[in-house]
């Protein structure tokens, strides 16, 4: 699949999963199978997009957080957004924040290690670890907020 189609399709999948997570949070949906299926879809789509050949050559590694700013802000926003659906879904499955953050970090670390050890022309980047984990936390927090707002008794 060419990048021309892969990126828009990936974005559409992420938006659909995020919307599903928000709906689950608002409605306090009980079904777990569909939510776990959504997590699997997120995982497969994310792995497909991050562990495939890039445009660079050789093994590249960045261990310096926020190095020079060129493209960093845009990448940070994108990387954060990719992991928001994971946090949303895990929160609606009843995961605690610490576990959702650990899952985001573990998935991100796995992706970065694979990018580093395989010669895919991609950069293994500490900034990705930070922003991906942040995205999982933001997604979890958004779901928690929506679930807690829905749980409040309506006063009058």
Share of the chain above pLDDT 90, in %: 65
Tell whether 14 is covered by a domain.
Answer: yes
pLDDT (tens digit, 9 = 90+) per residue, 48-101?
999 888 777 766 888 888 766 556 788 889 999 999 999 999 999 999 999 999
Residues 1 and 26: their CA atoms lie apart, in Å, by 35
Number of domains in the chain: 1
Domain of residue 144: give its range.
Answer: 3-151
Strand partners, 124: 61
- pTM above the 0.75 mark? yes
User: What is the end-to-end Cα distance of the chain in Å, rounded?
Assistant: 56
Query: Is the distance from CB of 89 to CB of 42 less than 8 angstroms?
Result: yes
**Angle value at C-alpha 85, between 83 and 88, nearest 5 degrees:** 115
Tell whether 156 is covered by a domain.
Answer: no
Tell whether 124 is covered by a domain.
Answer: yes
Burial of 30 (0-12, 13-18, 19+ CB in 10 A): exposed
Residues 115 and 51: their CA atoms lie apart, in Å, by 6
pLDDT (tens digit, 9 = 90+) per residue, 105-120?
999 999 999 999 987 8
pLDDT of residue 150: 72
């Amino acid at each position: 699949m060419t990048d021309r189609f892969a990126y828009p399709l990936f974005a559409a999948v992420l938006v659909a999963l995020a919307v599903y997570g928000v709906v689950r949070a608002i409605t306090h949906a009980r079904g777990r199978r569909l939510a776990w299926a959504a997590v699997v879809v997120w995982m497969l789509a994310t792995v497909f997009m991050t562990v495939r050949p890039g445009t660079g050559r050789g093994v590249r590694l960045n261990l310096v957080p926020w190095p020079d700013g060129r493209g960093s802000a845009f990448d940070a926003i994108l990387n954060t957004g990719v992991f928001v659906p994971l946090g949303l879904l895990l929160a609606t499955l009843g995961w605690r924040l610490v576990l959702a953050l650990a899952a985001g970090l573990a998935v991100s670390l796995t992706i970065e290690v694979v990018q580093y050890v395989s010669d895919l022309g991609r950069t293994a980047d500490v900034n990705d670890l930070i922003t991906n984990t942040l995205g999982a936390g933001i997604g979890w927090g958004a779901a928690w907020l929506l679930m807690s707002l829905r749980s409040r008794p309506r006063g009058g």
